[in-house]
Homo-oligomer: A and B are copies of this chain.
Amino acid sequence: MQLIDVIKENRYITGLVQGFERSHLQLNALHESDAELIRLPGQNLIMAITTDSICEEIERGMYTDPYMIGFMVITINISDLAAVGAHPVGLILNETLKHNLSVDFLTQLQQGISDACRRYKVSILGGDTNFSSRMQIGATAIGCIRTGNPVTRKGCNVGDHVFCTWRLGMGNAYALEKLLPTGDNNMSYTPIARIEEGIIISKYASSCIDTSDGCIAALDQLMRVNGFGFTITTPVSGYIDPAARSLCECNKIPEWFMLAGPHGEFELLFTVPPGNVEALILEAQSNGWKPLYLGSAVEEQAIILNVNNNMQQFDTARIRNLFYNGNSDIYYYLSELMNIEHTQVGGEL
């Protein structure tokens, strides 16, 4: 089996598309980019296209606020454009609505969409509305890469440094709070896709992915696409959001769980060749943000995290496949996560 298909979700997608012919206009291979990259016939411009729906999150009761659902459907799609360094052009909506939705619910849903569009300076270009017994809100985002030079998940080399745009873990913290019966259900969560940062990152990075499936899934996917591993020397506590940390403390669960769950946030995780680091940091600072240093790409195909100053290797395939097993009970999931092997590598730092 290919390294990439050890992950059940990747394998499922590989199977689904195996009979499809790839387009000669497409620049990226399967699994290797957050957005599809298309060179239009006879044009220099590269289009970036991506699609994502909010479906299971509604069905499982994780997303209940219509404004948040509206804001998120734009954010999840814009984030994929950010990860390839695209300028957003617009979005097409796919709304499957229940027949009995109140006017207030619909108004808030559309307000969330509208506000997110304003935030990302982008417009809704069109869409399709269906009616069903079950709600699903999706979109397709279209962007263009003006430099003609997109960044994808592939391109990282051993020795490249790993950064993220901001603290991680809030996506899983939100999900845990929503799914635990003891959660207070009042955690606010309106993450912002990193469009401006992505455009800067695309000039300097060798690979980039968003953390929408969680940090560990992002690192694991970069590892499988590039054939290298990652040693993250910055302690987990140093790049996890304080609110996520305190949730872990209250619930007596390890902080790295906030990196392991599949409900990530919309930060960008990217690798930068050593020679580009200074220029990246300078341009980032002049735009008001600072990349968080995590670690570096290494020859050995393994993901090693610094947990309480112990360097530990995680079975990231098992972590990712755990969620795909289909058992949606949160306590089962947490107990299985607790059983996942993480081997100490080297001594205490």
Residues of B near A113 (CB, < 8 A) are 20
Residues of B within 8 A of A124 (CB): 17, 20
A133 surroundings in chain B (CB, below 8 A):
59, 134
Task: Tell me which of B36, B87, B106, B144 contacts A92 (CB under 8 A).
Answer: B36
For window 9-54 of A, CB contacts with B under 8 Å fall at: 12-13, 16-17, 19-23, 25-26, 35-36, 38, 40-41, 43, 45, 47, 49-53
- Contacting B at CB under 8 A, from A92-109, are 92-96, 99, 106
- The complex places the Cα of A126 from the Cα of B37 at a distance, in Å, of 10
A122 to chain B, nearest CB (A): 8
What residues on B are CB-neighbors of A56 within 8 Å? 130-132
Residue numbers in B under 8 Å from A23 (CB-CB): 89-90, 122-123, 125
Residues from chain B with Cβ under 8 Å of A313 in the complex: none
Q: A118 in the interface, Cβ–Cβ < 8 Å?
A: yes
Q: How many residues of A contact B (CB 8 A)?
A: 62
List, in ascending order, chain B residues with CB within 8 A of A114's CB.
19-21
Contact B49 A92 (CB under 8 A): yes
**For the complex, what is the distance from the CA of A163 to the CA of B12, rounded to whole Å?**
46
Number of copies: 2
A274 at the binding interface (Cβ < 8 Å): no
What are the residues of chain B within 8 A of A127 when measuring CB–CB? 17, 51
Interface string of A78-93 (1 = CB under 8 A from B): 0000000001011011
Contact assessment for B40 and A144 in the assembled complex, using a CB-CB cutoff below 8 Å = yes
Contact A89 B20 (CB under 8 A): no
A136 within 8 A of B: yes
Q: Are A55 and B130 in contact (CB under 8 A)?
A: yes
Task: Tell me the minimal C-beta distance from A288 to chain B in angstroms.
Answer: 25
- The answer to whether B41 touches A43 (Cβ under 8 A) is no
Are B144's CB and A41's CB within 8 A?
yes
Does A286 sit within 8 A of B, measured CB to CB? Answer: no
Contact indicator B89/A40 (Cβ below 8 Å) = yes
Q: A138 in the interface, Cβ–Cβ < 8 Å? A: yes
Contacts of A40 in B (CB 8 A): 45, 89, 144
- Add 12 more A-B contacts to A21-B117, A23-B90, A41-B89 (CB < 8 A): A16-B110, A19-B110, A19-B111, A20-B114, A20-B124, A23-B89, A26-B123, A49-B126, A56-B132, A92-B140, A134-B134, A138-B138
Residues of A within 8 A of B (CB): 12-13, 16-17, 19-23, 25-26, 35-36, 38, 40-41, 43, 45, 47, 49-53, 55-56, 59, 87, 89-90, 92-96, 99, 106, 110-111, 113-114, 117-118, 122-134, 136, 138, 140, 142, 144, 326
Q: List 11 A-B contacts (CB under 8 A).
A: A21-B118, A23-B123, A25-B89, A26-B90, A51-B127, A51-B128, A55-B96, A56-B131, A56-B132, A99-B326, A140-B140
- 4 closest Cβ pairs, A-B complex: A23-B123, A36-B126, A55-B130, A140-B140
